Structure 1
């Protein structure tokens, strides 16, 4: 897997990341969602540099202009519900993309420290020969990302796969590196070192879904 860690180069991204992590600023759920969306836009721009481009001529009112435009057939797939703001940010840049959505969540058994990933709702176009962008803001254990990709396999084999996350744990990055093909590209805004005993990223930022959309009742 090719890992593109955007935090290795200082940029305006640092501002949005610091606000996401700040326990006081993140109380503003609208600002939290907007910051994830803006990070999605930044990652989308960086990701676009790796797409396939072809020459194109544009006719202007006064003549013609030669340029190159991306020719990748993109399917943007996000994991509900936390992935929605990130999806919107990517879609702002890839507005011609097809869209897929999947629900994947942790189901805890008697031991609150153990869980399995449950995939239920799934809506997806054909992936055959297309560029698949898998988006989930938090890459903790990596199990949700792998379960999502497994659920998408009946829809065809993508030509290229890009994984987009805001924050990941090194353990999760290592897990998906072993699970995905070596040509898969990971685009991530920050990689933290640790997971706690419940599988949450440390220092991370908390529960992205709850911060974006409100607390949920536990099943």
Structure 2
């Protein structure tokens, strides 16, 4: 597994604004979309392409277009849904699937409660969207789920990650072809398994439910 912290002044600035406790949900949603667009620019560098001959107003030329099968974007419900627009702004021809996974706050077990994906992901490059990589349980289970459907390559995009989550992800994916792109690696987890300093509950903040 390869881990890439995407360093850019705009990413650092927007992440700082996103972290602010006083940021209202509409600002949080906007900043999340902008951050994901910037992260997905880097995360899609090795996306599969092929040459194509086209006609411009002036001449015939050879250009580049995305290969088939097209990439599949999979937000992890519910918080990952807030990242979808930012990703599809960069890759508008990608198809979209959904995984609903939740962490039991007492046992920390991961429960899959919803799934809407193509039956066969053979040859597909799948981009998984989840704002927070905390314990790593959700992403590990998501990757296992996608690999069972024969996904060829998996790229995970998170806003922030904890070292504990990255370690668990490394252990969980083994030698699978997985990349992780994040805006920052934070200090670690607190006693409730929340990322510190983190963003708080990204889902609640996206949808106006934060206290």
TM over 0.5, yes or no? yes
Per-residue deviation, 1:19: 0.7
Q: Does 1:169 align with 2:166?
A: no
Cα distance in 2 for partners of 1:104, 1:214 equals 20
Shift of residue 105 of structure 1? 1.2
**Which of 19, 22, 47 pairs up with 1:21?**
19
Q: What is the aligned partner in structure 1 of residue 96 from structure 2?
A: 99
Q: CA deviation at 1:31?
A: 1.0
- 1:63 and 1:18 mapped to 2: Cα distance? 47
**Quick one: which of 4, 8, 11 aligns to 2:9?**
11
How many Å apart are 1:153 and its aligned residue?
A: 4.2
Counterpart CA distance in 2 for 1:143 and 1:71 is 32
RMSD over aligned Cα atoms: 1.7
CA distance in 1, matches of 2:191, 2:131: 20
Mapped pair 1:147 → 2:178? no
Instruction: Answer whether contact 1:141 1:175 (CA < 8 A) is retained.
Output: yes
- Alpha-carbon separation, structure 2, partners of 1:162 and 1:48: 8
Q: Quickly say closer, same or farther: Cα 1:161–1:152, change in 2 above 3 A.
A: closer
TM-score after normalising by structure 1: 0.88
Instruction: Could you tell me which runs of 5 or more consecutive residues in structure 1 were left unpaired when the two chains were aligned.
Output: none
- Normalised to the residue count of structure 2, the TM-score between the two structures is 0.91
Q: Is the 8 A contact 1:21 1:205 kept in 2?
A: yes
Q: Count how many residue pairs are aligned between Structure 1 and Structure 2.
A: 207
Specify which of 150, 162, 180 is matched with residue 157 of structure 1: 150
Determine the C-alpha separation between the residues in 1 that align with 2:109 and 2:60. 57
In structure 2, the gaps of 5 or more residues are: none
The equivalent residue for 1:116 is 109
SS in 1 for 2:122: coil
Distance 2:46 2:83 in 1: 19
Task: Summarize deviations over 1:30-75 as a string: whole Å, max 9, x none.
Answer: 1101111111111111122112232222211221233223325211
The reply to whether residue 187 of structure 1 matches residue 181 of structure 2 is yes
